[in-house]
Amino acid sequence: KQEVTQIPAALSVPEGENLVLNCSFTDSAIYNLQWFRQDPGKGLTSLLLIQSSQREQTSGRLNASLDKSSGRSTLYIAASQPGDSATYLCAVPILYNTDKLIFGTGTRLQVFP
Amino acid sequence: DTAVSQTPKYLVTQMGNDKSIKCEQNLGHDTMYWYKQDSKKFLKIMFSYNNKELIINETVPNRFSPKSPDKAHLNLHINSLELGDSAVYFCASSQAGTDYGYTFGSGTRLTVV
């Protein structure tokens, strides 16, 4: 059974710091991995999608890496800003059944000025 | 705007009532989902539909009945609402067989009093 966990559960940092958020999954046979952002009271915004054949994806100040063999993904946020404050979620679909996403427990990030 | 839109955004109702949440996507996706986010912010799939056909039903009480009149719409009807149904319900869509991941709606916060 696939289980996805995220560390840390919460993070509070001053503006400008580079951050690493961690995502671990128990079954390394994944199809892809997706990182989302959720703002308070809002929906989920897709940030990055990494296919199982890829090792990393980049979008602006965000870089996500994937190490399937060790069951880990990291989301790197460069030069953090107060606007980055949100909850970050990683999710993987069940292998051979991409209709079902298993979500991680989330990392709540606060970046203060 | 291309998006997944769901209504209403907020819903407050009394125990025992019946309510519906509507979802529409204009992305041309063939698969739609309902996810539930509980008070601990954990997201879990409830249903998925592919081209109007039910694909996943994740041990959800039969008081919850999804309806898909066409592949662009997936509505969620809930009978005899209970206090424990209070949560945020998210609609999402994806295109099977592609690498584009999921797109989520902004959520419906249901409060049962």
Q: Which residues of B touch A103 (CB under 8 A)?
A: 42-44
Contact B94 A100 (CB under 8 A): no
pLDDT of residue A1: 82
Provide the pLDDT for residue A43: 83
> Would you call B20 helix, strand, or coil by DSSP?
strand
Measured between CA atoms, the residue of chain A closest to residue B33 is A99
Q: In this predicted structure, what is the pLDDT of residue B99?
A: 65
pLDDT per residue of chain A (113 residues) written in tens, 0 to 9: 889 999 999 999 999 999 999 999 998 888 889 999 999 878 889 999 998 889 999 999 999 999 999 999 999 999 999 999 999 999 998 766 656 789 998 999 999 99
Give burial (CB, 10 Å; 0-12/13-18/19+) of A27.
middle
Q: Structure tokens of A32?
A: 């892809």
The per-residue pLDDT for range B37-93, each reduced to its tens digit, is 988 888 999 988 888 788 777 778 899 999 999 989 999 999 999 999 999 999 999
Please determine, for residue B2, whether its predicted confidence score (pLDDT) is greater than 80.
Answer: no
Residue in B48, B103, B105 nearest the CB of A100 = B48
Cβ contact B43–A89 (<8 Å): yes
Phi/psi of residue B70, nearest 5 degrees: -155, 175
Mean pLDDT of B100-113: 91
* CA B71 – CA A54 distance, rounded (Å): 31
Predicted local confidence at residue B49, as pLDDT: 87
**Three-state DSSP state, B69:** strand
Please answer yes or no on whether A106 and B41 come within 8 Å at the CB atom.
yes
Between CA A1 and CA B37 the distance in angstroms is: 20
Name the closest residue on chain B to residue A102, using Cα atoms.
B44
What pLDDT sits at residue B1?
65
Task: Report how far apart, in Å, the C-alpha atoms of A101 and of each of A6, A83, B20, B92 are.
Answer: 15, 27, 24, 11
Q: What is the pLDDT, as a whole number, of residue A65?
A: 96
Q: B97: pLDDT confidence band, cut at 50, 70 and 90?
A: low
pLDDT at A96: 61
Chain A residue with CA closest to B30: the answer is A99
